[in-house]
Amino acid sequence: MEVKTRSSEQFGEPETFVSLQKQRFIVAAANQYMLEHDIDEEAQFDIVSILTENGKFTLNHLPDAFYPIVK
């Protein structure tokens, strides 16, 4: 799961800042963890975005936000 927080939407929604490079890093880290701990399950990659404006918090959960990319 990746969590992104922003204090305004001036430059876009927080979840849009999870770049392809960041996704690849997260997938590689999850894969390594699963190999080291002998976990033979599918992984799910979610994004949680948090927007805080004027003391109010807006939470957005995006299940299955991205998938491992096959090279």
What digits encode the pLDDT tens for the residues 28-46?
999 999 999 999 999 999 9
Residue 19 pLDDT more than 90? Answer: no
Structure tokens at 68: 């491992």
Mean pLDDT of the region 58-62: 89
Cα–Cα separations (whole angstroms), residue 45 to 17, 56, 57, 68: 15, 26, 23, 9
CA atoms within 13 A on the CB side of 21: 1
- Are 4 and 18 in contact by the 8 Å Cβ rule? The answer is yes
Most confident of 4-13, 26-35, 45-54, 56-65: 26-35
Res 41: pLDDT = 92
pTM of the model: 0.73
